[in-house]
Amino acid sequence: MTTQVILVMNHNQDPLDELTTALARNGYEVRLADSLAQSHRLTGETRPDVVLLNPLALCENGVELELLERLQEEDDPIPVILLADDLAALADARNLQVPFRDFVLKPCSPTECVHRVELALQTRVRIRGLQSRARQLESQVSVDFKTGLTSELYMKKIMGLEWKRAQRHQNPLSLLLIDVDNFKGVNDTTEYAFGDEVLRRVADALKGNVRETDFAARFGGDEFCVLLPQTSPAEAVQTALRIRQRICGMTVHSANYERKVTVSIGVDSYDGRKASSVDQLRRNANRALHEAKRRGKNQVWLYSGSEPGGSEPGGAERGGAERGGSEPAIRVDEGGSAPGSEAIQDA
């Protein structure tokens, strides 16, 4: 079992030797920071399981609050135990919305602090368990609550049914995998709420660019997919280019942030010859997506039958120029048509 890390931010530099000794004696790995600089360094090295904060000067927009807020993650909050001088200091901390979950009045009893740490760790385990269960329940519903698109689990059921239908009637079936470019950077430099707004705007663009007979879903954090029944590879690429063009002209605004958004899209189609299963269809589209990412992002790539170590997927880039690789690729000019495309009537 991994030793749990307790970070003691002793910015006020009180004598806490008895406290740190008691924590170590109870099996915790104690990391002591006597300054903000040390706290920054230690949090950069290891994410602690609990923080004990003996603040220097808690104030709105202060560096101590910023440091605590940076440690928190939406699905894995870190408990913070505040060492407060008195009840007045505790009230001030509450007014500042310090992200602490418990407090101990000074002078601190080592035994009480150890007990508070144990309770904080138990609470963290319960929170993580509840959030894990919430994610499981979320995946069991048909609609993704953040975007209003089809949920991942329900989409997998749809893909299985549409795959069997395509095989039975020998109809084409196409899949687009769509990934928001540099989304991690958005979350790292803004707020989770802003990242959620980016996802919602991308979802809205998908809804506005697919037919009623198509299926759009959110797959994972920043990945989406669109399943296109009775759609040839050429028609699927045209849909993907339309989606890419719609999103690349989009800017997401909030009170504090503004970001331009682009997506990379990988495409594969079942035509009775290539993909042997719905999982293979998804793997092929994922290979094309990775190629779009590798080639600079904000692009559409169509899988052309190459395997790892072989020729590259064929591409339909922004201007539609065919990329390298020995396998044929569908050349697409945005706003035009793809050679070899067939007119498929909706069933």
Given 222, 279, 333, 346, the catalytic residue: 222
Contact 253, 194 (CB under 8 A): no
Secondary structure (H, E, C), 172-191 = CEEEEEEEECCHHHHHHHCC
Q: Which residues pair with 6 in a beta bridge?
A: 30, 50
Tokens of 215: 């299926």
Secondary structure (H, E, C), 255-277 = CCCEEEECEEEEEEEECCCCCCC
247: left (phi over 0), alpha (psi -120 to 50) or beta: alpha
Contact 81, 74 (CB under 8 A): no
CA-nearest of 138, 165, 162 to 152 is 138
Tell me the three state secondary structure of residue 167.
helix
User: Distance between CA atoms of 10 and 218, rounded to whole angstroms?
Assistant: 44
User: Distance between CA atoms of 131 and 37, rounded to whole angstroms?
Assistant: 33
Parallel/antiparallel/unpaired status of strands 29-33 and 5-10: parallel
Q: Is residue 222 annotated as a catalytic residue, yes or no?
A: yes
DSSP secondary-structure letter at 302?
A: E
What is the DSSP track for 215-263? EEEEETTTEEEEEEET--HHHHHHHHHHHHHHHHTEEEE-SS-EEEE-E
The whole-angstrom distance between residue 306's C-alpha and the CA centroid of its chain comes to 29
Catalytic residue annotation: 222
